[in-house]
């Protein structure tokens, strides 16, 4: 440092001690510039020497931080390596990713992957009869052998089973053929369980919606059979074979939750192999059947019980008289009630079904019988009140109705012919008239005699015979009374003489044999006695007065008789007209009564037929039946009949060879 520093030559300048510059003198500006540069370099070196400890400190701190991070990282790696399961899963997934998820997990292309498949029923969610869709919740059970998932358990501290996500390994494409779901995926995301031999078990929960042909013939006591067909969608039987899980050809119900609407009858399953016309390879599938029986308690309360009550009420209609308005009113009300039940039935059953439930036929039959009874009642009422003779009952129908009425123990109400009735009435009137004539012949006097049908006139009440009979009877009665008074009194002789003369004079006034035959007839000497003559004159006066009174009475009697005869003729005419009107009215009502009898007989026939139908339908249609095992077998055989297509080529599927256990060098 004590030595003088020689400035280095600037770029483009010749060296200071070059031969060309020897002997020449440097200029003052150049020397000054070189001195400034030397001083700057000396100051830079001084500053660098002063900051050297700080730089060393920073370097040491950075190195310490790096050493700490490396130590922590090494410690973490040491803790992960302690879990053999983690190391195994990481190694398996890394190898599987290298091999690829796509493609069957086999070492040889000719190997067949056998997939065992089964279902565990959890719950029947719904059976939509209108849309014909079955919705169930199940546990799908898969089992197969994956040759890429094999390891030596001893190298991993005895770890023989691990769980792996399904997205990182191969899974079979077993799908539901007859699906009716708008979702793209039915199964839930769950991991698979595999062991060191490569055996994989996968049990994902799923909700399947499948098509189901619903038969509502016996609704609500119906039994439905639905099926779920599972198989590989892309692999044929030479590449992927499907078998039953643990060789159980049925649906497991170990975890089944009982349904409120459906009762399980049977859950069989069958394996089928189908050949399509396009391909020579077989396509196996597994078909699981669900035979369900409806619990009819709800529908029996809603549809069956009102139907039975209305049917019983319908029987009352056939016992009401056909001319009663209450029959039509009750019939229409029951008809409307059955129509409402029919609407409820339509809401509970599919509208596009190929079959009609028996209970629907039962409703329609009730409505038909009610309609016929009401329609017949309208006709009978019309004829009953209108009485149209032109629509008389035919003879053959009348005989049939009479025969049926006797068979049904009904009272005969069909009337006889009106001509016969009138003939009977006339004969009865003539008989009564002849009997009355015989009774009147024993009488000596008649006040009034009715004229017969020939128009005979009245008998005179003032004839001479009638007058003599009245005079004789009155005189005899007065003489007898006087004689009785004389005998009981015992008076003087003059009075007796006068009385005797008076009696004799009265007898003489009668004339004829009447006086001669009368007892106590007087002598002829008494006839010329003065007192007797005086008495005779008085008698003549009294007789004249009596004749005047009799004449007045005769005139009054004649007038009264004529009035009575006129009244009787008017009464007879009125009675005859009344009888004719009654006969005409009865004739007009005859047709209505005959048709009324037809209606009564038909109603009674309808009653017994309806009663038989109710009892028969109640035991056949409205009573639940137990499922028959033969019916289940027939359904399965009918389903298998669809697989009887001609096989284009023989099936050469060889049984799967036992997989060679390969241990990965981990």
HEC string of 306-361? HHHHHHHHHHHHCCCCCCCHHHHHHHHHHHHHHHHHHHHHHHHCCCCCCCCCHHHH
Q: Residue 504: inside a domain, yes or no?
A: no
Residue 135 lies in a domain: yes
Name which residue leads in pLDDT, 248 or 423.
248
The whole-number pLDDT of residue 184 equals 62
Residue 407: inside a domain: yes
Q: Token pair of 339, please?
A: 């129509």
Burial per residue of 606-628, b for 16 or more beta-carbon CB atoms within 10 angstroms, e otherwise: bbeebeebbeebeeebbeeeebe
Other beta carbons within 10 Å of 353: 17
Q: Does 55 score more than 80 pLDDT?
A: no
Residues 290 and 319 in one domain: no
243 and 167 inside one domain: yes
Same domain as 324, residue 287: no
Domain shared by 203 and 348, yes or no: no
In the listed set 296, 316, 341, which residue is the last one of a domain according to the structure?
296
- Give a yes or no: residue 316 inside a domain: yes
**Torsion angle, alpha carbons of 129, 132, 137, 140, to 10:** 150
Residue 208's pLDDT band (boundaries 50, 70, 90)?
A: very high
Nearest partner of 543 among 460, 497, 474, 486, judged by Cα: 474
Distances in Å between the Cα of 166 and the Cα atoms of 56, 190, 207, 230, 647 are: 56, 7, 18, 20, 36
Measure CA of the first residue to CA of the last residue in the chain; give whole Å.
68
Residues 246 and 213 in one domain: yes
Residue 140, domain extent: 92-296
- The tally of domains found in the chain comes to 2
Band the pLDDT of 171: cuts 50, 70, 90: very high
Place 664 in a pLDDT band, splitting at 50, 70 and 90: very low
Residue 655 has pLDDT above 60, yes or no: no
User: How far is it, in rounded angstroms, from Cα 117 to Cα 120?
Assistant: 10
Q: What would you measure as the largest C-alpha separation in the chain, in angstroms?
A: 259
pLDDT (tens digit per residue) in 71-83 = 666 555 555 455 7
Q: For residue 346, is it within any domain?
A: yes
In the predicted model, what is the mean pLDDT of the chain?
A: 74
Residue 125 reports pLDDT greater than 90: yes
Q: Reduced to 3 states, what is the DSSP secondary structure of residue 230?
A: strand
Residues 403 and 317 in one domain: yes
Is the backbone peptide bond immediately before 220 cis, with ω within 30 degrees of 0? yes
In a domain, 367, yes or no: yes
Q: What pTM value is reported for the model?
A: 0.59
Neighbours of 539 (CB within 10 A): 15
State the DSSP code for 390. Answer: G
Per-residue pLDDT of 585-618, as tens digits, reads 777 677 777 777 877 888 888 888 888 888 887 7
CATH of the domain at 104: 2.70.170.10
- pLDDT tens-digit map of 268-286: 999 999 888 888 889 999 9
Q: Is 227 helix (H, G, I), strand (E, B) or coil?
A: strand
305 with 389, same domain? Answer: yes
Whether the Cβ atoms of residue 201 and residue 140 lie closer than 8 Å to each other: no
Q: Is residue 151, in this structure, part of any structural domain at all?
A: yes
Question: Do 129 and 237 belong to one domain?
Answer: yes
| Predicted pLDDT of residue 192 | 93
DSSP character for 300?
I
Q: Are residues 393 and 255 in the same domain?
A: no
Which pLDDT value is given to residue 477?
52
The answer to whether residues 281 and 304 belong to one domain is no
| CATH number of domain containing 378 | 1.20.58
Distance CA 523, CA 508 (A): 12
**pLDDT at 250 > cutoff 60:** yes
Judge if 314 and 215 occupy the same domain: no
280: in domain? yes
Other C-beta atoms closer than 10 Å to the C-beta of 605 total 14
Judgement on whether residues 179 and 206 belong to the same structural domain of the protein: yes
Instruction: Decide which of 266, 296, 326 is a domain's last residue.
Output: 296
Confidence (pLDDT) at 146: 92
Q: pLDDT at position 10, please?
A: 43
Angle, alpha carbons 456-461-466 (nearest 5°): 125
Residue 310 has which token pair?
């209305």
pLDDT confidence of residue 362? 84
**pLDDT per residue as tens digits for the range 539-574:** 788 888 878 787 777 778 887 888 888 888 889 889
Of 296, 330, 349, the domain-final residue = 296
């Amino acid at each position: 440092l004590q030595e003088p520093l020689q400035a280095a030559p600037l770029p483009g300048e010749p060296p200071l001690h070059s031969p060309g510059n020897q002997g020449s003198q440097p200029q003052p500006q150049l020397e000054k510039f070189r001195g400034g540069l030397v001083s700057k370099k000396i100051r830079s070196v001084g500053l660098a020497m002063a900051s050297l400890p700080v730089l060393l400190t920073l370097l040491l701190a950075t190195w310490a931080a790096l050493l700490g991070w490396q130590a922590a990282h090494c410690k973490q790696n040491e803790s992960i390596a302690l879990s053999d399961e983690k190391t195994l899963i990481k190694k398996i997934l890394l190898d599987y990713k290298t091999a690829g998820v796509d493609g069957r997990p086999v070492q040889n292309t000719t190997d067949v992957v056998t997939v065992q498949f089964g279902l565990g029923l959890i719950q029947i969610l719904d059976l939509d009869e209108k849309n014909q869709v079955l919705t169930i919740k199940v546990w799908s059970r898969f089992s197969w052998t994956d040759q890429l998932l094999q390891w030596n358990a001893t190298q991993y501290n005895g770890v023989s089973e691990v769980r792996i996500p399904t997205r990182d390994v191969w899974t079979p494409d077993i799908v539901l053929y007859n699906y009716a779901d708008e979702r793209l995926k039915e199964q839930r995301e769950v991991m698979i369980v595999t062991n060191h031999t490569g055996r994989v078990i996968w049990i994902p929960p799923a909700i399947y919606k499948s098509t189901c042909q619903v038969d509502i013939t016996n609704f609500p006591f119906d039994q439905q059979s639905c099926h779920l067909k599972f198989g590989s969608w892309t692999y044929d039987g030479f590449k992927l074979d499907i078998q039953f899980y643990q060789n159980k050809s049925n649906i497991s119900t170990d975890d089944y939750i009982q349904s409120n609407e459906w009762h399980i009858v049977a859950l069989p399953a069958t394996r089928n192999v189908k050949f399509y016309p396009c391909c020579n390879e077989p396509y196996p599938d597994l078909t699981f059947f669900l035979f369900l029986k409806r619990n009819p308690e709800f529908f029996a309360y809603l549809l069956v019980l009102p139907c039975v009550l209305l049917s019983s009420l319908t029987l009352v209609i056939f016992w009401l008289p056909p001319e009663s308005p209450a029959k039509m009113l009750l019939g229409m009300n029951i008809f409307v009630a059955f129509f409402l039940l029919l609407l409820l039935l339509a809401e509970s059953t599919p509208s596009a079904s190929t079959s009609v439930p028996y209970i629907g036929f039962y409703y329609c039959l009730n409505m038909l019988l009610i309609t016929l009874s009401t329609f017949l009642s309208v006709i009978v009422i019309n004829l009953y009140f209108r009485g149209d003779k032109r629509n008389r009952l035919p003879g053959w129908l009348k005989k049939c109705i009479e025969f049926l009425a006797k068979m049904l123990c009904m009272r005969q109400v069909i009337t006889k012919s009106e001509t016969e009735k009138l003939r009977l009435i006339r004969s009865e009137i003539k008989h009564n008239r002849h009997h009355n004539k015989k009774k009147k012949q024993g009488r000596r006097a008649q006040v009034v005699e009715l004229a017969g049908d020939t128009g005979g006139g009245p008998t005179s009440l003032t004839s001479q015979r009638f007058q003599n009979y009245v005079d004789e009877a009155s005189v005899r009665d007065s003489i007898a009374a006087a004689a009785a008074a004389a005998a009981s009194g015992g008076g003087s002789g003059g009075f007796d003489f006068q009385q005797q003369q008076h009696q004799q004079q009265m007898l003489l006034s009668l004339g004829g044999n009447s006086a001669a035959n009368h007892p106590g007839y007087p002598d002829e000497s008494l006839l010329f006695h003065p007192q007797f003559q005086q008495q005779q004159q008085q008698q003549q006066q009294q007789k004249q007065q009596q004749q005047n009174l009799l004449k007045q009475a005769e005139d009054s009697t004649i007038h009264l008789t004529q009035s009575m005869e006129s009244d009787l003729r008017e009464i007879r005419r009125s009675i005859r007209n009344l009888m004719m009107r009654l006969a005409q009215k009865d004739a007009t009502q005859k047709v209505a009564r005959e048709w009324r009898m037809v209606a009564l007989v038909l109603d009674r026939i309808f009653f017994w037929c309806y009663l038989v139908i109710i009892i028969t339908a109640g035991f056949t249609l409205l009573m639940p039946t137990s499922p028959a095992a033969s019916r289940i077998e027939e359904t399965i055989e009918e389903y298998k009949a669809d697989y009887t297509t001609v096989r284009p080529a023989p099936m050469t599927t060889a049984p799967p060879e036992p997989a060679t256990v390969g241990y990965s060098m981990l």
